[in-house]
Structure 1
Amino acid sequence: MARIINQVAVFGLGKVGELVADLLGESGFKVVGYDAAPRDDLAFEVKALDVRDAAGLRESLRAVDAVVSCLPFHLNIDVAEAAHDAKVHYFDLTEDVPTTNRVIELASDQATTAFAPQCGLAPGLIGIIGASIAKTFDELRSIELKVGALPQNPTGLLGYAINWSPEGVVNEYLNDCEVLRQGHRQMVPAMTEKERVLIAGIELEAALTSGGLGTMCETYEGRVSRLDYKTLRYPGHFDQMHFLFDELNLRERRDLVGQMLVDSKPPVNDDVVYIHAAVEGVKTGKPFRENHVRAYKPLDISGRTWRAISWTTAASAVSVVELVADGTLPAAGFIKQEDITLEALFSTQAGRHFAEQGKV
């Protein structure tokens, strides 16, 4: 069957967007990249665009079938609305709840194309993993999802490096978290319910953070007693962040905290992405807990070594594009990440990296 997506625009050619474009090319799509400044060092066509220019934004979508937004979350609504008007398929990496709510509205407004936000790691891959495991249970009690993007060789009290958006990190630490408790949706403070986690002998800590579940609380309300998402860090990290936000009274100065983190904990190349999904319930008539644990490290793709956070995020997003293009996922309306199976993701050109890497 012929693909329904052949030409794809990628907005934002930063840490992840450039690799999204490369992986789309490897998967057989024709790609055009858009960024604030033109670039001539890439293997695909790149054009300069200010996405705040509504007319220019819509013009950029006239010749493509789909758009993948790798922009900061506050710019995604403009792109989604332009995609709706242009009748092109829409994908993004956001974890911002208001952004996703607007995308859902657009998808329900006589949309003739697919709208698939939250295609990164969390929300995104971790929800696909958790939901795929949950489908194998007869009865569900809990779904616990955890992700951590960390330096392999940490230093200092924070044990951290900003390999991802500082704005996103601060938001997930401060915004309230949606969870399921006793089967009902609740909002609880971030950086609470801390617990100890061991992965391949590495001691970590996990605490609730916002945005990682996407639409899963709505999907599983009344079906699962407990559902939550936590971020993994090295021991002591969250105590230091509480000191920063609370004792130094910086909760209302998010931009300042983000800049401080970038200055003090710049990116590293030797990073690792930890994935920990656990589902409890009844399987074949007996209580059971199933764990899916991975540790993804930097990977060579097309002759270049990419950080773990970059390739895992990019490969997840491109996998979803492939699944829509090939007809595995619906061609119109809103697509929840938890409706995607891990088996389908592994079957894609980009998703094969997850099947081949990360075993602990």
Structure 2
Amino acid sequence: MKNIAVLGLGKVGTLAAELLHGSGFNVTGIDLAAPQNKLPFQVKSLDLRDATGVEAEFAAQDAVLSCLPYHLNARLAEIAHRAGIHYFDLTEDVPTTNRILELSKTARGLMAPQCGLAPGFIGIVGASLIEEFDDCRSCKMRVGALPQHPTGLMGYSFNWSPEGVVNEYLNDCEVIEEGTRKMVSAMEWFEDIYIDGVKLEAFTTSGGLGTMCDTYAGRVANLDYKTMRYPGHGKLMNFFFHELLMRERREEAGEILVNAKPPVNEDIVYVHAAAEGRIGGQLLRREFVRGYRPVEVAGRMRTAIAWTTAGSVVAIIEMVRDGKLPAQGFLKQEDVPLDAFLATPTGALYAA
């Protein structure tokens, strides 16, 4: 794997392309409108709704990474499947992932969706904790991408795709509770969490577990994923989506929220994973807790959400190239060894 196309040159896509370029890949960045700033790799302007143009581009690639909104990914994965090349994306959307899983059964390359932060890195961390136990009774995974200096009642800024956030807040969530797989509503199961003295609330959101319920059914009695926010956020979002019925107008909801709470540069990504079980007959708890802030990557300061998302997928692509992960079929995030992930040039960013 040498030639890779990165689709979508927003903050995350541009950084992922720069990291791949720095890691030795021959990168082609593709967007509807070419970025104004000069980039160290080839950039092409292409309407990704043009199937003929996309097919011609994919024919020249060994792999493709989609950093586009989730609703575009299934069709792009189908084109990558026909071209016989590796496919990677950052989607949290469950139907999209299920479609890619079906494609993987006849794929000549690797089909690897959900390679971002959540799903993605959090699943790698959670799986590593589960594997420490002889008998794991629970694994709880939480992620929060937040402003460092929140203002207003919402305490939030939209540093991530509004489409993705709305999707996560409204779609049902799969969990394992007392050994039973079930679907529960988003923005429920509230709890308080403290990280470095900062009080946060956590509630269910969709997609964060990826394929983990499939993998750990019958092995882990309790498994769930929640998003972390500053206290009071979830109550306001429930009011906005359900009492004001904005759940029926998703696109407009995203526009309203971004207009009210635009992105900030000084953000923080909290990662909290905890597992409990028995080792040698003794009941124990293991945790992985981090607060990731903006850092300088590839010569420029990057927001925490940008580098934790882009870095995760790039580290996985590096592992596939180096033969540390399969080159065909479907990649589950829980099958990615955490130690090997952190040992990659890009994965090392998460070790701090």
TM-score range, shorter chain: over 0.9
Q: CA deviation at 1:248?
A: 1.6
For 1:291, the equivalent position in structure 2 comes to 287
TM-score normalized by structure 1? 0.96
Decide whether the 8 Å contact of 1:80 with 1:103 is kept in 2: yes
SS at match of 2:132: coil
Q: Does 1:241 align with 2:237?
A: yes
- Counterpart-to-counterpart distance in 2, 1:274 and 1:321: 24
TM-score normalized by structure 2? 0.98
Q: How many residues align?
A: 351
For 2:115, the equivalent position in structure 1 comes to 119
Matches within 5 A, 1:88-103: 88-103=85-100
For 1:279, the equivalent position in structure 2 comes to 275
Q: CA deviation at 1:246?
A: 2.2
Q: What whole-Å deviation, never above 9, does each CA across 1:212-233 have from its counterpart, x for those lacking one?
A: 0000001111111110000000
Q: Does 1:143 align with 2:139?
A: yes
Matches within 5 A, 1:37-52: 37-39=33-35, 41-52=38-49
Matches within 5 A, 1:298-317: 298-317=294-313
AA in 2 matched with 1:212: G
Match of 2:103 among 99, 102, 106: 106
Q: CA deviation at 1:184?
A: 1.9
CA-based RMSD: 0.9
**Which sections of structure 2, spanning at least 5 residues, go unmatched?**
none
Q: List 4+ stretches of structure 1 deviating above 3 A.
A: none
Q: Does 1:345 align with 2:341?
A: yes
For 2:150, the equivalent position in structure 1 comes to 154
- Counterpart-to-counterpart distance in 2, 1:302 and 1:87: 31
Decide whether the 8 Å contact of 1:52 with 1:78 is kept in 2: no
- Counterpart-to-counterpart distance in 2, 1:250 and 1:103: 29
AA in 2 matched with 1:57: V
Percent of residue pairs identical = 58
AA in 2 matched with 1:244: F
Q: CA deviation at 1:247?
A: 2.2
AA in 2 matched with 1:286: Q
Q: What whole-Å deviation, never above 9, does each CA across 1:96-138 have from its counterpart, x for those lacking one?
A: 11111111111102x1211111000010000000001111100
- Counterpart-to-counterpart distance in 1, 2:75 and 2:188: 33
SS at match of 1:278: strand
SS at match of 1:51: coil
Decide whether the 8 Å contact of 2:9 with 2:35 is kept in 1: no
Q: CA deviation at 1:249?
A: 2.2
For 1:77, the equivalent position in structure 2 comes to 74
Q: Does 1:185 align with 2:184?
A: no
Q: Does 1:132 align with 2:128?
A: yes
Decide whether the 8 Å contact of 1:39 with 1:47 is kept in 2: no
Decide whether the 8 Å contact of 1:51 with 1:78 is kept in 2: no
- Counterpart-to-counterpart distance in 2, 1:37 and 1:14: 11
Q: What whole-Å deviation, never above 9, does each CA across 1:154-213 have from its counterpart, x for those lacking one?
A: 000000000001111111111110000121210001111100000000000000110100
- Counterpart-to-counterpart distance in 2, 1:249 and 1:62: 45
Matches within 5 A, 1:320-339: 320-339=316-335
Match of 2:58 among 43, 56, 61: 61
For 1:7, the equivalent position in structure 2 comes to 3
AA in 2 matched with 1:328: K
- Counterpart-to-counterpart distance in 2, 1:122 and 1:184: 22
Q: CA deviation at 1:284?
A: 2.5
- Counterpart-to-counterpart distance in 2, 1:96 and 1:163: 18
- Counterpart-to-counterpart distance in 2, 1:105 and 1:251: 29
- Counterpart-to-counterpart distance in 2, 1:48 and 1:13: 10
For 1:256, the equivalent position in structure 2 comes to 252
- Counterpart-to-counterpart distance in 1, 2:310 and 2:93: 18
- Counterpart-to-counterpart distance in 1, 2:72 and 2:243: 32
Decide whether the 8 Å contact of 1:279 with 1:289 is kept in 2: yes
Decide whether the 8 Å contact of 2:12 with 2:310 is kept in 1: yes
